[in-house]
Amino acid sequence: MRLDDEQESLNVEDRRGERGGFGGFVGGGNIGRLLFLWPLIRPLLRTKIGWVIIIIGALFYFGNPLALFSGKSSHKVARNDDANAIFIKKVLRTTERVWSNLLPKYSYRYSNPVLVLYRGHTRSGCGYASAQMGPFYCPMDQKIYLDLNFFDELSNNLHAGGDFARAYVLAHEVGHHVQNILGILSKIHRLQQQAMQMGNKVRANHLQIPVELQADCLAGVWAHYVQSRLEPGDIKEAINAASQIGDDVLQKRSQGYVVPDSFTHGTSRERVYWFEVGFKSGDIRACNTFR
């Protein structure tokens, strides 16, 4: 994807420098956090084992000591991390341009979401956020949460490399923001709550599937309007990413078998299909995954 001349979005919170992602939780920076932890630390000061625990904890707090024994250069990792951050900020800017121009044609006003970059774990308006959760959108604070390490996971473990695969991931989350503006997320959330109150978890899961497929379709709509920036192979990268993160493929890879009742995002085939629908049409009305 050609983004050399694109600006970086300003709607970004970079929390990668926050240790543990809970900066401001108590107040007073590090002093506030130490006061908060003091009841746990004080008993440990009385024993040698306690001192060992404190020292190890301090090492992990101020930096990962295992990095000293890895074969990777911390400077190289930092450079890659910063390059990914710059790239994804530029992608976010393209989504802002597309949706700000497109939604008014459907009588909706687009408001920019905020992208939160973090490392490890952080807080969100929807509760605790961790890297294991993958990227997600929180409608409560209208922010997208992304641990940039996910891109390594996407490339190395999910077999979905390429810059446009990363762009597709962000565009999918922005698609959820568009759904929030359209009032779709709140409607589905109410239906899911009703299903859970009735003890029907399968129904609640399946209600999520068209939400995710529609976000894929909206990512395709975005891709339709940035075609001038695409390079040969970009769409194939997005389609491959959509295929590799289908519920069926992920379950088969992780546990060796598939449980359709637990699906929440749709099959690989469905995810690819709806991305292509959005890309070919460029019309959000074509993204009716609820029919």
What pLDDT digit, counting tens, does each position of 148-182 carry? Answer: 888 888 888 888 999 999 999 999 999 999 999 99
Residue count of the chain: 291
Q: Give the separation between CA 224 and CA 276, rounded to whole angstroms.
A: 10
CB–CB of 175/255 below 8 Å? no
pLDDT of residue 29: 42
pLDDT tens, position by position, 52-90: 676 766 655 544 544 444 444 445 556 667 899 999 999
Band of the pLDDT at 37, cuts 50, 70, 90?
A: low
The DSSP symbol for 57 reads H
Structure tokens at 163: 């810059």
pTM over 0.95: no
Give the DSSP letter of residue 246.
Answer: S
Contact 74, 67 (CB under 8 A): yes
Token match 């003091």: residue? Answer: 38
| Nearest residue to 15 via CA among 126, 145, 151, 169 | 145
Distance in angstroms (rounded) separating the CA atoms of residues 92 and 79? 20
3-state secondary structure (DSSP) of residue 288 = coil
Give 250-272 pLDDT, tens digit per residue: 999 889 999 998 898 999 999 99
The structure tokens 């996910």 sit at: 150
| Look-up of token digits 């121009």 | 101
